[in-house]
């Protein structure tokens, strides 16, 4: 135990605790900028300085471990003046045109400037940002160096959580900047568009490319029929931007808000998540049959999930030889888009040309995915606009909707029905769990042998997880699977995907099925989710997702009545000709 005093009050902490952590434990706020719970300590912004008795220099609270007997002042005159100067220095080289900034009202530097009442300018404004360009080429992310305070949260995010290193530090001293390989646009480097950097940038230097105005235009055009789909993870994140505590489920209010915004039909990505399970489960069983019965050496195992667009971009850049291992299923977002302008248009007697398909996603990479050339199988661009959870909250606020007071409403029908299995797509391990619930039952005629359908071995927040399910007494058609241990692996966060893929590459992994989600925690921790997102908040959102699953009357994808209907009325069968055309694709390096 370590005993310290913070502002004269005794605090006891474990050895190794930093001053910042100790202060938080004692409910004392110390401002931070470069610090982020998910990342290693950098200690480069100095905003968190505190005074330690007996030491001449101030210490960065985030980078200083507590020592027994330390007397710490977090609010002395010296500390306050230093912090003020640090904020002034940051502002002197920051494009502080706040009213025209996308992060206006959500910027951590702006909040600090407001808190410390920076009214004068003691330092010469450097204006280095006058020469900077704004990179707007990516469909997902805008990088504006004039707003950058060089805290390097983005660099650490890209390296530590994602192992991608698309963003690095270039040059030194005054010229130091956050850049890419040869200073190319984000769109032309290995960036996966995951947006984890956007989620952690304290200012407006990295933001999502927003399409709010385009969606308002579509809604207000009487000639357009605007369909919206909402991803599984949005319903456990959206509330945080609208007054709810992390971990609140706001599904019904979200539907009500979307209807008030004026969307013509409010539907659910979860419906196509269920559909994905039908297609992907069948594909896995087909591959297993080819490998185990036909002894087909060409068949690629492990089969990897293909619904996370950041993961797809990562494998395209880093492991292109494994692209054939990806399931050929499009993501639920893109399946939905292709069906909105075909199946839905036909059923509703609508001209697909007049349909505007919008999706609400926890993810910035989904914007890139929707813009891919592969995603036009309906004869149109399948998904027209992708908004993040944050952009939806902006629209709700702009519309003056009192979100907290909204009554819960249900999704519209035809592509609005979903099961518990589809909701858990939003948490790491969820696609695997949903697939196992269905595949096991299709093969054996019995539910998966786990209490309450909860396949706990695939759950959790460990970066890489392995599990296996033994298939016993299968139905006649699947006799070849009798006694087979279906081996599964799960990774979330691309740094963990790298661990798994390196093992696969080295021949050290013999999985049948691999689930990878690009973002830590899965989509609930997506780059488009409310800020802040960190380990604690991800845990709360995960709990909410599992609660949503438990509360659903149907919890297996193959039992979704709308899924059964679409096969009967339109698709025929999983992996059939129509499915093949609309719901599947392949990626080439
Ligand atoms: Fe996801 Fe998805 S689960 S990728 O994380 O599969 O973004 O939430 O919408 O498409 O369903 C994101 C979330 C989705 C898709 C689904 C999948």
Question: What count of other Cβ atoms lies within 10 Å of the Cβ of residue 224?
Answer: 16
pLDDT at 465: 98
Tokens 């060409």 -> residue: 298
Cβ–Cβ under 8 Å, residues 418 and 446: no
pLDDT at 120: 79
Cβ–Cβ under 8 Å, residues 323 and 315: yes
Q: How far is CA 119 from the centre of its chain?
A: 38
Q: List pLDDT tens digits, range 311-353.
A: 999 999 999 999 999 999 999 999 999 999 999 999 999 999 9
Tokens 């027994």 -> residue: 68
pLDDT at 589: 72
Widest CA span of the chain, in angstroms? 81
Q: How far is CA 576 from the centre of its chain?
A: 31
Cβ–Cβ under 8 Å, residues 162 and 518: yes
Beta-ladder partners of 10: 5
**pLDDT above 80 for 569:** yes
Residue closest to 273 by CA, chosen among 502, 1, 562: 562
Q: Which residues contact 376 (CB under 8 A, 6 or more apart)?
A: 382
Cβ–Cβ under 8 Å, residues 167 and 151: no
For ligand 1, is residue 269 a contact (CB within 6 Å)? yes
Q: List pLDDT tens digits, range 534-559.
A: 999 999 999 999 999 999 999 999 99
**Which 3 state secondary structure label does DSSP give 372?**
coil
**How confident is the prediction for the chain on average, in pLDDT?**
96
Q: How far apart are CA 387 and CA 254, in angstroms?
A: 14
pLDDT band at 129 (very low <50, low <70, confident <90, very high): low
b/e for 378-405, b at 16 or more Cβ within 10 A?
Answer: bebbbbbbbbbbbbbbbbbeeeebebee
Dihedral of CA 106/109/114/116: which sign? positive
- Interface pTM, i.e. ipTM: 0.93
pLDDT at 194: 98
pLDDT at 133: 82
> What DSSP letter does each residue of 516-542 carry, written as one string?
EESSTTSGGG-TTS-S---HHHHHHHH
Q: How far apart are CA 287 and CA 281, in angstroms?
A: 10
Q: How far apart are CA 398 and CA 387, in angstroms?
A: 15
Ligand 1 atom showing the smallest separation from residue 269 Cα:
11
Q: What single DSSP character describes residue 120? A: S
Edge-first strand listing for the sheet containing 464-470: 303-304, 513-517, 485-492, 464-470
Residue 535 CA to ligand 1 center (angstroms) comes to 19
Ligand 1 atom showing the smallest separation from residue 366 Cα:
7
pLDDT mean over 26-45: 97
Residue 524 CA to ligand 1 center (angstroms) comes to 9
Residue 58 CA to ligand 1 center (angstroms) comes to 46
Three-state SS string over 303-321 comes to: EECCCCHHHHHHHHHHCHH
Cβ–Cβ under 8 Å, residues 322 and 551: no
H or E segment to which residue 341 belongs: none
Q: Whose CA is nearest to atom 6 of ligand 1?
A: 307
Return left, alpha or beta for 254; rule: phi > 0 is left, psi -120 to 50 is alpha, else beta: alpha
**Which 3 state secondary structure label does DSSP give 231?**
coil
**Which 3 state secondary structure label does DSSP give 313?**
helix
Cβ–Cβ under 8 Å, residues 531 and 106: yes
Q: How far apart are CA 134 and CA 523, in angstroms?
A: 28
Phi, psi angles (nearest 5°) of residue 513: -140, 135
Joined tokens for residue 53: 């008795």
For ligand 1, is residue 361 a contact (CB within 6 Å)? yes
pLDDT mean over 350-375: 98
pLDDT mean over 225-229: 98
Residue 179 CA to ligand 1 center (angstroms) comes to 29
Total-model pTM: 0.97
Helix axes 309-318, 494-505, angle to 10 degrees: 50
The single residue of 21, 208, 283, 417 carrying the catalytic annotation is 283
**Which 3 state secondary structure label does DSSP give 321?**
helix
Q: Whose CA is nearest to atom 4 of ligand 1?
A: 308
CA count, 13 A, side-chain hemisphere, 540 = 16
Cβ–Cβ under 8 Å, residues 530 and 390: yes
Asked if 366 is an active-site residue, the reply is: yes
Ligand 1 atom showing the smallest separation from residue 232 Cα:
8
For ligand 1, is residue 432 a contact (CB within 6 Å)? no
Q: Which residues contact 215 (CB under 8 A, 6 or more apart)?
A: 226, 358, 385, 387, 395
pLDDT at 521: 98
Asked if 550 is an active-site residue, the reply is: no
Asked if 101 is an active-site residue, the reply is: no
Q: List pLDDT tens digits, range 419-444.
A: 999 999 999 999 999 999 999 999 99
pLDDT at 173: 85
The single residue of 67, 115, 374, 485 carrying the catalytic annotation is 374
Joined tokens for residue 310: 């950041």
Q: How far apart are CA 208 and CA 88, in angstroms?
A: 27
Asked if 441 is an active-site residue, the reply is: no
**pLDDT above 80 for 124:** no
Asked if 148 is an active-site residue, the reply is: no
pLDDT at 127: 65
CA count, 13 A, side-chain hemisphere, 481 = 27
Percent of the chain at pLDDT > 90 equals 96
Q: List pLDDT tens digits, range 451-472.
A: 999 999 999 999 999 999 999 9
For ligand 1, is residue 516 a contact (CB within 6 Å)? no
Dihedral of CA 263/264/266/272: which sign? negative
Q: Which residues contact 573 (CB under 8 A, 6 or more apart)?
A: 567, 579
pLDDT at 128: 65
Asked if 407 is an active-site residue, the reply is: no
Asked if 214 is an active-site residue, the reply is: no
**pLDDT above 70 for 211:** yes
The single residue of 51, 93, 280, 391 carrying the catalytic annotation is 280
Beta-ladder partners of 265: 227
pLDDT mean over 505-518: 96
Q: List pLDDT tens digits, range 162-203.
A: 999 999 999 998 889 999 999 999 999 999 999 999 999 999
pLDDT mean over 57-70: 98
Cβ–Cβ under 8 Å, residues 47 and 112: yes
Q: How far apart are CA 307 and CA 286, in angstroms?
A: 19
Q: Which residues contact 172 (CB under 8 A, 6 or more apart)?
A: none
CA distances from 157 to 56, 389, 447 (A): 33, 20, 40
Beta-ladder partners of 491: 464, 516
pLDDT at 309: 98
For ligand 1, is residue 273 a contact (CB within 6 Å)? yes
**pLDDT above 70 for 131:** yes
């Amino acid at each position: 135990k370590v005993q310290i005093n913070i502002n004269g009050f005794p605090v006891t902490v474990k050895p190794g605790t930093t001053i910042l952590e100790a202060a938080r434990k004692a409910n004392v706020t110390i401002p931070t900028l470069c610090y982020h719970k998910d990342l290693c300590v950098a200690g480069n912004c100095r905003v968190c300085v505190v005074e330690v008795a007996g030491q001449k220099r101030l210490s960065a609270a985030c980078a200083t471990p507590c020592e027994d007997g330390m007397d710490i002042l977090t609010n002395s005159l010296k500390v306050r003046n230093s912090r003020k100067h640090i904020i002034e220095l940051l502002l002197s080289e920051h494009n502080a045109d706040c009213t025209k900034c996308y992060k206006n009202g959500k910027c951590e530097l702006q909040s600090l400037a407001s808190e410390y009442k920076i009214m004068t300018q003691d330092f010469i404004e450097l204006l280095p940002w006058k020469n900077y360009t704004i990179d707007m080429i990516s469909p997902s992310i805008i990088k504006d160096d004039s707003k950058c305070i060089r805290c390097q949260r983005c660099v650490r995010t890209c390296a530590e959580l994602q192992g991608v290193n698309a963003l690095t530090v270039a040059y030194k001293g005054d010229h130091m900047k956050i850049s890419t390989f040869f200073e190319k646009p984000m769109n032309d480097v290995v960036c996966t568009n995951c947006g984890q950097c956007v989620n952690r940038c304290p200012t407006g230097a990295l933001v999502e490319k927003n399409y709010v105005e385009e969606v308002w235009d579509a809604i207000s055009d009487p000639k357009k029929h605007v369909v919206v789909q909402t991803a599984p993870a949005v319903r456990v994140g959206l509330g945080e931007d609208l007054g709810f505590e992390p971990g609140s489920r706001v599904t019904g209010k979200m539907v009500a808000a979307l209807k008030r915004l004026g969307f013509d039909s409010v539907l659910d990505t979860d419906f196509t998540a269920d559909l994905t399970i039908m297609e992907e489960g069948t594909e896995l069983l087909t591959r297993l049959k080819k490998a185990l019965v036909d002894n087909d050496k060409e068949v690629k195992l492990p089969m990897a999930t293909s619904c996370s667009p950041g993961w797809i971009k990562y494998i395209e850049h880093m492991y292109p030889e494994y692209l054939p291992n990806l399931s050929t299923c499009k993501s639920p977002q893109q399946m939905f888009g292709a069906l909105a302008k075909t199946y839905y248009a036909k059923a509703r007697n609508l001209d697909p040309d007049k349909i505007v398909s919008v999706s609400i996603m926890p993810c910035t990479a989904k914007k890139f995915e929707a813009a891919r050339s592969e995603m036009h199988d309906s004869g149109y661009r399948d998904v027209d606009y992708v908004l993040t959870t944050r952009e939806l909250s902006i629209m709700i606020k702009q519309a003056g909707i009192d979100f907290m007071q909204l009554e819960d409403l249900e999704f519209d029908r035809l592509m609005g029905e979903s099961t518990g299995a589809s909701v858990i797509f939003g948490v790491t391990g969820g696609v695997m769990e949903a697939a196992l619930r269905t595949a096991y039952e299709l093969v054996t005629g019995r539910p998966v042998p786990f209490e309450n359908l909860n396949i706990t071995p695939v759950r959790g927040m460990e970066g890489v997880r392995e599990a296996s399910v033994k298939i016993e007494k299968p139905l006649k058609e699947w006799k070849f699977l009798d006694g087979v241990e279906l081996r599964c692996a799960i990774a979330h966060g691309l740094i963990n995907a790298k661990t798994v893929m390196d093992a696969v590459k080295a021949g050290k992994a013999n999985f049948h099925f691999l689930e990878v989600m690009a973002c830590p925690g899965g989509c609930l921790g997506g780059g488009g989710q409310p800020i802040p997102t960190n380990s604690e908040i991800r845990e709360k959102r995960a709990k909410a997702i599992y609660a949503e699953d438990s509360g659903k009357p149907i919890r297996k994808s193959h039992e979704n009545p709308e899924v059964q209907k679409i096969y009967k009325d339109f698709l025929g069968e999983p992996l059939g000709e129509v499915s093949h055309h609309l719901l599947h694709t392949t990626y080439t390096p």
